[in-house]
Amino acid sequence: MKGALDGILVVSLEQAVAAPLATARLAAAGARVIKIERAEGDFARGYDHVVGGESAYFVWLNQGKESLVLDIKAPADAELLGRLVAHADIFVQNLAPGAAARTGFGSESLRARHPRLITCDISGYGDGPMADRRAYDLLIQCETGLASITGGVSEPGRVGVSVADIACGMNAHAAILEALIARGVSGKGRGIAVSLFDALAEWMTVPLLHHEFGGKAPARVGLQHPSIAPYGAFACSDGQLVVLAVQNEREWHRLCVDVLENPGLSADPRFASNSLRVANRAGIDAIVMTVFAGFPAKTVMARLDLAGIACAPVNEIADLSCHPHLRRHRISTPGGVVDLPVLPVIAGAPEPVRAVPALGAHTMAIRAEFAG
């Protein structure tokens, strides 16, 4: 079956995570994605070498693309890139601020020459006083305050995956699809600009509102929920941590009666609402901790399931590797075949086998195809 974006050409001056994630989603939907790389390659190729000599980041984010090595400062290569863009539907870039424009590939000038072109500029901070600052995922997690509400009580922490890059790439992908729909109506392209800072700042709306209207930002609570109780991780007799999540008063009553076997607790005025339970979290946590400590995790989870209380084990990555709900698809890489998690959207069609390109693997073919 053809993808929804079959026939769409994407040209991307991309590196690292955010832009490659956006274009990987486009490639998965059937678009042809030509990835422009320097002679040394996307620096994400060198982040690690754990997947048969390839980078885990690069393998994840570059399935189904073509790799074209260009020096866009060289006139002949710049001319070739210009011909590519003239045929393209979408142009994506996440070079350093201003770098694309300085080489003649600024989004406004490209759209002036090619009115149907959709351009997407991905940056760290977007416009504003910090536009020229370097920006990477951990820096943005810290800059937006995310690190201040992440981690244990004693110190801030980093979210363990590159959430700023991922959020920004997802925003870029969604905006590009919107622009394609709009172009189908108007016949005109659109300029898109997204940034890592804006992506995480928007995700931080709830903590920000608590600060500005409630007078206090959520505290770091580790594996607890800052706004709901009981909602967190508790140790069982076998040492396994189990997370339970109570979402309403019906569930609170069932937890007390069916799991904690303490019916009177549900009527305790200290715990009569979620706000009161959060204010008296220590008391609730102590009760739950005592009960859970008397049983192995499987027994605790079985009781929670029977009571209709949401729960989950606190797994390690090794547990994810063999999880019964982990769906995989097979791709080929320069280092061999790899089974990766499938894309998170189920489209109803079997996923094709996609390849991760070696550096410059398509350079000669693309040069011949777009020769002047």
Question: What integer pLDDT is reported at residue 221 of this predicted model?
Answer: 85
Question: What integer pLDDT is reported at residue 368 of this predicted model?
Answer: 94
Do 112 and 83 belong to one domain?
yes
Question: Which of 285, 313, 341 is the last residue in one of the domains?
Answer: 313
With beta carbons less than 8 A apart as the criterion, state whether 325 and 347 touch.
Answer: no
3-state DSSP call for residue 245?
strand
Do 170 and 246 belong to one domain?
no
Residues with Cβ < 8 Å from 130, sequence gap 6 or more?
124, 197
Examine residue 218 and state whether it is found in any structural domain, yes or no. Answer: no
CA distance 256 to 357: 56
Question: What integer pLDDT is reported at residue 282 of this predicted model?
Answer: 92
Beta bridge partners of 33: 10, 65
Parent domain of 252: 231-313
Average pLDDT over all residues of the chain? 93
Examine residue 307 and state whether it is found in any structural domain, yes or no. Answer: yes
Average pLDDT over residues 78-88: 96
Q: Looking at the predicted structure, is the pLDDT value of residue 256 above 70? A: yes
| CA angle (371 as vertex; 355, 179 as ends), nearest 5 | 60
Do 60 and 118 belong to one domain?
yes
Do 295 and 354 belong to one domain?
no
22 CA to centre of own chain: 10
Q: Looking at the predicted structure, is the pLDDT value of residue 300 above 70? A: yes
Q: Is 114 a catalytic residue?
A: no
- With tokens 């980093």, the residue in question is 158
Residues with Cβ < 8 Å from 267, sequence gap 6 or more?
none
Question: What integer pLDDT is reported at residue 120 of this predicted model?
Answer: 98
Average pLDDT over residues 66-84: 95
Q: Write out pLDDT tens, residues 206-224.
A: 999 999 998 988 888 888 8
301: domain CATH number is 3.30.1540.10
58: domain CATH number is 3.40.50.10540
Question: What integer pLDDT is reported at residue 2 of this predicted model?
Answer: 76
Token pair of 370, please? 């777009």
Examine residue 223 and state whether it is found in any structural domain, yes or no. Answer: no
Average pLDDT over residues 227-239: 94
Average pLDDT over residues 81-99: 95
Do 138 and 251 belong to one domain?
no
Do 171 and 28 belong to one domain?
yes
Beta bridge partners of 129: none
Question: What integer pLDDT is reported at residue 1 of this predicted model?
Answer: 62
Do 189 and 81 belong to one domain?
yes
**Residues of the chain above pLDDT 70, percent:** 98
Q: What single string gives the DSSP state of each residue in 4-63?
A: TTTT-EEEEE--SSHHHHHHHHHHHTT-EEEEEE-TT--GGGGS--TBTTB-HHHHHH-T
**Residues of the chain above pLDDT 90, percent:** 85
Q: Looking at the predicted structure, is the pLDDT value of residue 177 above 70? A: yes
Phi and psi (nearest 5°) for 58? Answer: -65, -40
Q: Write out pLDDT tens, residues 346-366.
A: 666 556 668 999 999 999 999
Phi and psi (nearest 5°) for 69? Answer: -90, 125
For residue 7, what pLDDT band results from cuts at 50, 70 and 90?
Answer: very high
CA distance 348 to 330: 17
Question: What integer pLDDT is reported at residue 348 of this predicted model?
Answer: 62
Do 25 and 65 belong to one domain?
yes
Do 129 and 277 belong to one domain?
no
Q: Looking at the predicted structure, is the pLDDT value of residue 345 above 90? A: no
List the catalytic residue out of 49, 87, 114, 225: 225
Tally of domains within the chain: 2
Do 45 and 183 belong to one domain?
yes
Question: What integer pLDDT is reported at residue 347 of this predicted model?
Answer: 65
